[in-house]
Amino acid sequence: MTAIQAVLPSAVSLRSRSPSLPPRPPKPSAAAAAAGRRMPGRRRGISGGTPRVAMVQQAVQGAPATYAKEMERLSAKESLLLAFKDSGGFEALISGKMTDMQQIDVNERIIGLERLNPTPRPTTSPFLEGRWNFEWFGSGSPGLTAARVIFERFPATLANLSKMDIMIKDGYARITANLKLLNSLESKFILSTKLSVEGPLRMKEEYVEGTLETPTVIEETVPDQLKGALGQAVSTVQQLPVPIRDAITSGLTVPLSGTFQRLFMISYLDEEILIIRSTDGLPEVLTRLEVPPTMVEPVVEYES
């Protein structure tokens, strides 16, 4: 028994020095415990505030970028309008007096403005409706070909195309070509078409009818030697039966339904400029003449 009692203290001493049992940490004080409970809240506040700071910084950095892009768009638009003016405008274009350098310069500015298009869905935008004036036809476009036929086949003193405009409203378009004959007669050729939305950028145009209005006499420009003949012609028309007279005064209308249609894409649209491209990629540039009556965005469904 005495030998066993002598061995037990040594075993207990060895167990207390064993590295497998680490010493128990001291109990924290009340102040330290309270501080430890507050620390997670501070960490959450710091980590939760970081995204908000990043969002504020992004907003501050985004405002100047948006402003710079808008200034770039306005500058490109003014540059295009200035190029039209410097090249001679609509008359120089359809008469063939515009040089190759002027044409390539205008086309370059058209492309530069198209890449800054601010309207993602122009076919259903309220900016599309209104009255527009044709400023530019791409080389080989139907409008430019028809205009040049008039200039090339007839002398300017015999027939002249002064301007072309289009009125877009409620899914229909009314294209008006203003003609001047013999420097004394004014007439209009009106082409009515139906527009259908084919997608956010693409539309289909179907011709409905064409009307050649009865010429209007500009009395101030009529030569003296023709005034007598003009008076006799007016008197003769007045003596015709009412149905025939009304038919003459209302002009000549030709139905065109089912004869011609085309697809085109709107590549740029804002409150002042409209750019469309044909299936061949030829551009037509129009500038606004009248503000649309309403600016409410219509909702139009389309099939892809």
Note the pLDDT tens digit of each residue in 130-164: 999 999 987 655 555 566 555 555 555 566 777 88
Q: What is the pLDDT of residue 159?
A: 63
Q: What is the pLDDT of residue 275?
A: 97
- Rounded to an integer, the average pLDDT of 293-300 is 48
Q: What is the pLDDT of residue 8?
A: 45
The CA radius of gyration of the chain, in Å to the nearest whole number, is: 39
Looking only at the bridges linking them, the beta strands covering 261-269 and 273-278 are antiparallel
221, 183 contact by CB (below 8 A): yes
Kindly indicate the confidence band of residue 302, based on its pLDDT and cuts at 50, 70 and 90. very low
Structure tokens at 292: 């649309």
Kindly indicate the confidence band of residue 41, based on its pLDDT and cuts at 50, 70 and 90. very low
CA pair distance 203, 122, nearest whole angstrom? 10
Q: Which residues contact 129 (CB under 8 A, 6 or more apart)?
A: 168, 169, 170, 292, 293, 294
Quickly count: other Cβ atoms within 10 Å of residue 93's Cβ.
23
| Higher-confidence position of 64 and 63 | 64
Q: Is the pLDDT of residue 66 over 50?
A: yes
Structure tokens at 121: 């869905």
Q: pLDDT digit string (tens) for 72-105?
A: 999 999 999 999 999 988 888 877 788 999 999 9
CB burial readout 110-129, b (16+ within 10 A) else e: bebbeebbebeebbbbebbb
